[in-house]
Structure 1
Amino acid sequence: MSTKIVPEHLSGLLAEVSDWSTDPDELERVRTDRSGLIPDGIPDAVVRPASADEVVTVLRQASRAGIRVVTRGAGTGLSGGATATSGEIVLDVAGMNRILEIDADNATARVEPGVITADLDAAAAAHGLRYAPDPASAAISSIGGNIATNAGGLRCVKYGVTRDAVLALDVVLGDGRRLRTGRTTAKGVAGYDLTSLFVGSEGTLGVIVEATVKLSPLPVGSRTATALFDTVAEAAAAVGAVLRAGIRPSTLELLDHATLLAIDAAQGTALAQTGGAFLLVQTDGFGADHEMAQARTILRGAGARVEDAADDADAQRLLQVRRLALPSIERLGRVLIEDIAVPRTRLADAVTGIDDISRRTGVKIFTFAHAGDGNLHPIVLAAAGPADPIPAHVQDAVNEVFGLALRLGGTLTGEHGVGVLKRPWLADELGDTGLEVQRSLKTVFDPAGILNPGKAL
């Protein structure tokens, strides 16, 4: 076994933890996330705590020594929020991956941050329950990362996003203090809602070492259908008609023609031959049949060609089509994975506007969406190598997409977070006072400013 190299400025910290590395190959791997952003330099070390107590030790030592800390889970983030460079250490909590308790009677679970989302869902299923938030990355993303970005997912239109599922958190603050937020009761208003403050904070306020989350009953049944439209604008308008009718599908996902072509090329399917836009609809619960019947009537009235899934296996196949959208597009080259959200009533305006930006600029943009809550993912083909600068005309197109979202009353990010990639536009949404207040809050939880510096704010 090779001898570990101990950087002098980290000697005290590393002496207190059981698992760490300064191997260059390992540091190269953990310096980036799925965003593809490659920071200059590599971190000084990666530390893998085995317990909350070790996290306390690391942060206490790092705060005293002024060592910057980037917390990392599964590394599936899409905004550069887990990237790390020289002068920083990576706190890798992926190994803290135990499901500590599933309380079927109260429909809750206690988990460590490294638990993979799909693994929690599967464990809950054994009790007739499920973890409702369902990001497309569920098979590879971790609960801690989902909480850090307030991840959404395919079922968010009916069941909400990660914030709606988090009841309580055990967090280690920047100076090593341990804080318990929230409660396990269904109601409670004692003190400020610090739990919600940590959800979506991207590792800048503290390190989550345990979470208590809500579980939901497995639905008694579900119905799945696809609706094919000539244009994505027609599909977006039909989404609004379905929701105005009072129907609440568990899944309402939209893929444009460019995305269908990418999936066909990668997976050998022929989706793009059947229409210009693909809408995936799933209803569940006791009213699944009735809701689907109503949705089917509305969609056909809007000009769609509607087909029902033949059985559960066929339904899973259709859901997998949606999950394959991003991996299929990524095969075409480097992409910028954007994540805007608009009011549901402006969904059609957003998809039409993105299509116009693509045509005018000549920049290839693929759009798919959690259409039920107005969360769009414009995926921009960067026309650049992994480490090359983004061409100016591509960046200009991305800027136009962000501007479009804000003009429509929307947001720069619905679920991926700000990270590094969206910080230049944050003031446009929050305003100067909003940024000032949020930065003041950070100093309360992270007095030395060591947690994920340069991210989110």
Structure 2
Amino acid sequence: MNNHGLVTRLREQLGDAAVLTDTDVTDAYSRDMMPLAASGKPLAVVLPSDVEGVQAVVKACAEFEVPIVPRGAGSGLSGAANAIDGCVVLVLTKLDQIVEIDEGNRLAVVQPGVVNLDFRNAVEKHGLFYPPDPSSYDWCTIGGNLSTNAGGLCCVKYGVTTDSVLGLEVVLADGSLLKTGRRTVKGVAGYDLARLFVGSEGTLGVITQATVALKPLPQLPSTLVAAFNSTEAAGEAVARVVREGLVPSLMEIMDATSIKAAEAYLKTDLGTSSDCKALLLAQSDSGGEVARKELAVLEQICVDCGADLAYATEDLEEGKMLLQARRVVLTALEMYGVWLTDDVCVPRTRIAELIAGCERISEEVGLRIAVVGHAGDGNMHPTIVYAPDSEDEFARARVAFDAILDVALSLGGTVTGEHGIGRIKREWLAKEIGEVGIAVHRQIKQALDPKNLFNPGSMFSL
């Protein structure tokens, strides 16, 4: 079929303003934030404003057999939202309504184009809390979070996106609307289809609405910082926290490279000694005496494990200042070049080994590698810095990226904790889950998307 006929059809159904074909405009929608992932030239970028518009796009693309790449804000770090040549990029940012906030049942119904931070602020006005908080939460969308099963700093206590999902509405390959899940606390009727679509990176359907569980608004957090002169000591402290059953609302780790970058960027001294190798930051949102006791135990564990510094505070502004050091690391690394962040998860007892592995890789490739991550769940983000105008350094960064994935697997970990597989880790997914696992993925894909039109090439190939 003539694909220009598809563009005409889409304009007839959605209006001219919702169908973009100017390459100067469409190029801006052709890729996410991952520099390693290839991207193509889309036939068109479409921005429907309602579910019926999404269904119309899917039906038209099915008729013309044109691939669809669903996209949110483009904040992803795996290439999962990258266009392929001749596709339609389906942008969901105009589906941006918070449909309902049900205080009595502590749930909300939300469309995929709602920005994570806007949603969190909206439910907070009702004394409620939506836990998933990716680092890009001030501009990433709920739909993108659902697509990649995003996490964030609070995962140690509250879990990743899927742990908050009760139900979904999804447009399937034939344009029909699947409603799956529930609004109740419990429910085991049929397969758990909602969890199947969360994290599927747009390869099985297009999520147009989600029903999510909310938590009571936590107490204001108290904060602990602890500095160690060895990563092994910091790793032992994390393992002790886990063994003793403590569940802080946040527990982050920074290696020496990250600490130095943050200090230089903030133009401040974090209070660590010159030979500090690792910094732990933890918070408790339990409030009052419970939080004080929790942090007291955390502080004692750090001291027992050899911390040179262990300091706890209930002062909110002081806590924000301490946590800022963790949040600015990626920005701080831009002082030295551009960054390429990896995303792996290892058993919490092996965090120190991963950091040591990254130090070895840094020496081998001759590039700066900083490691920060969510120590509470073992999800680490080694970040490689390279010169933007050096093809040689970019090639070495790619080597380092893959070497880090190899180390993670060797430690009993996984190649992604929250960013997803996308277009850069397909071969690594196959290594991790094996031939049978890939075969099952393909069978599910074939059942739900027999023409392979939904985001083909993301996660795995048919």
* TM-score using structure 1 length: 0.94
Q: Report the Cα distance in structure 2 between the residues aligned to 1:348 and 1:242, rounded to whole angstroms.
A: 15
Give the 5 Å matches for 1:250-261. Answer: 250-261=249-260
Say which of 330, 333, 356 aligns to 2:360.
356
Checking the alignment, whether the CA contact within 8 Å between 1:175 and 1:447 is kept in structure 2 is no
Letter in 2 for 1:146: N
Give the 5 Å matches for 1:33-432. Answer: 33-37=32-36, 39=38, 41-271=40-270, 274=273, 275-286=276-287, 287-304=290-307, 305-309=309-313, 311-385=315-389, 388=391, 391-432=394-435
Q: Which moved more, 1:418-427 or 1:393-402?
A: 393-402
Checking the alignment, whether the CA contact within 8 Å between 2:50 and 2:95 is kept in structure 1 is yes
Letter in 1 for 2:292: D
Aligned partner of residue 268 in structure 2, secondary structure: coil
Aligned partner of residue 87 in structure 1, secondary structure: coil
Checking the alignment, whether the CA contact within 8 Å between 1:33 and 1:76 is kept in structure 2 is yes
Checking the alignment, whether the CA contact within 8 Å between 2:41 and 2:85 is kept in structure 1 is yes
- 1:158-198 Cα offsets, whole Å, 9 max, x none, are 11111100110000012211101111111111111111111
Letter in 2 for 1:60: K
Letter in 2 for 1:285: S
Q: Report the Cα distance in structure 2 between the residues aligned to 1:385 and 1:8, rounded to whole angstroms.
A: 41
Q: Report the Cα distance in structure 1 between the residues aligned to 2:155 and 2:60, rounded to whole angstroms.
A: 39
**Residue in structure 1 matched with residue 437 of structure 2 by the alignment:** 434
Aligned partner of residue 88 in structure 2, secondary structure: strand
Judged with a 3 Å threshold, the aligned counterparts in structure 2 of structure 1 residues 176 and 332 are, in CA distance, closer, same or farther, namely farther
Q: Which runs of 4+ in 1 moved over 4 A?
A: 388-392
Q: Report the Cα distance in structure 2 between the residues aligned to 1:257 and 1:240, rounded to whole angstroms.
A: 20
Checking the alignment, whether the CA contact within 8 Å between 2:346 and 2:414 is kept in structure 1 is yes
Letter in 1 for 2:282: V
Q: Report the Cα distance in structure 2 between the residues aligned to 1:363 and 1:176, rounded to whole angstroms.
A: 48
Deviation at 1:259, TM superposition (A): 1.2
Q: Report the Cα distance in structure 1 between the residues aligned to 2:76 and 2:88, rounded to whole angstroms.
A: 18
Aligned partner of residue 373 in structure 1, secondary structure: coil
Structure 2: gaps (5+ residues): none
Residues matched between the structures, number: 451
Q: Report the Cα distance in structure 2 between the residues aligned to 1:439 and 1:29, rounded to whole angstroms.
A: 31
Aligned partner of residue 345 in structure 1, secondary structure: helix
Checking the alignment, whether the CA contact within 8 Å between 2:227 and 2:272 is kept in structure 1 is no
Checking the alignment, whether the CA contact within 8 Å between 2:227 and 2:310 is kept in structure 1 is yes
Say which of 14, 18, 38 aligns to 1:17.
14
Checking the alignment, whether the CA contact within 8 Å between 1:175 and 1:448 is kept in structure 2 is no
Q: Report the Cα distance in structure 2 between the residues aligned to 1:56 and 1:357, rounded to whole angstroms.
A: 47
Aligned partner of residue 68 in structure 2, secondary structure: strand
Q: Report the Cα distance in structure 2 between the residues aligned to 1:333 and 1:440, rounded to whole angstroms.
A: 43
* Root mean square deviation of aligned Cα: 1.9
Deviation at 1:127, TM superposition (A): 1.1
Checking the alignment, whether the CA contact within 8 Å between 1:261 and 1:272 is kept in structure 2 is no
Aligned partner of residue 247 in structure 1, secondary structure: coil
- 1:203-247 Cα offsets, whole Å, 9 max, x none, are 111111000111101123431111111133321221111121111
Judged with a 3 Å threshold, the aligned counterparts in structure 2 of structure 1 residues 395 and 185 are, in CA distance, closer, same or farther, namely same
Aligned partner of residue 185 in structure 2, secondary structure: coil
Q: Which moved more, 1:329-338 or 1:28-37?
A: 329-338
Q: Report the Cα distance in structure 2 between the residues aligned to 1:265 and 1:92, rounded to whole angstroms.
A: 38
Checking the alignment, whether the CA contact within 8 Å between 1:237 and 1:347 is kept in structure 2 is no
Q: Which moved more, 1:10-19 or 1:203-212?
A: 10-19
Aligned partner of residue 14 in structure 2, secondary structure: coil
Deviation at 1:8, TM superposition (A): 4.1
Deviation at 1:156, TM superposition (A): 0.5
Q: Report the Cα distance in structure 1 between the residues aligned to 2:324 and 2:448, rounded to whole angstroms.
A: 40
Letter in 1 for 2:234: A
Aligned partner of residue 299 in structure 1, secondary structure: helix
Q: Report the Cα distance in structure 2 between the residues aligned to 1:312 and 1:39, rounded to whole angstroms.
A: 43
Aligned partner of residue 300 in structure 1, secondary structure: helix
Matched, 1:31 2:27: no
State the identity %.
Answer: 43
Q: Report the Cα distance in structure 2 between the residues aligned to 1:71 and 1:101, rounded to whole angstroms.
A: 24
Deviation at 1:9, TM superposition (A): 4.2
Judged with a 3 Å threshold, the aligned counterparts in structure 2 of structure 1 residues 201 and 385 are, in CA distance, closer, same or farther, namely farther
Q: Report the Cα distance in structure 2 between the residues aligned to 1:374 and 1:285, rounded to whole angstroms.
A: 22
Letter in 1 for 2:316: D
- 1:400-425 Cα offsets, whole Å, 9 max, x none, are 21111111111100100001111122
Aligned partner of residue 14 in structure 1, secondary structure: helix
Q: Report the Cα distance in structure 2 between the residues aligned to 1:25 and 1:208, rounded to whole angstroms.
A: 28
Letter in 2 for 1:216: K
Deviation at 1:31, TM superposition (A): 0.7
Q: Report the Cα distance in structure 1 between the residues aligned to 2:63 and 2:202, rounded to whole angstroms.
A: 19
Q: Report the Cα distance in structure 2 between the residues aligned to 1:23 and 1:242, rounded to whole angstroms.
A: 54
Letter in 1 for 2:304: G
Deviation at 1:394, TM superposition (A): 3.3
Structure 1: gaps (5+ residues): 1-5
**Residue in structure 2 matched with residue 3 of structure 1 by the alignment:** none
Q: Report the Cα distance in structure 2 between the residues aligned to 1:331 and 1:453, rounded to whole angstroms.
A: 37
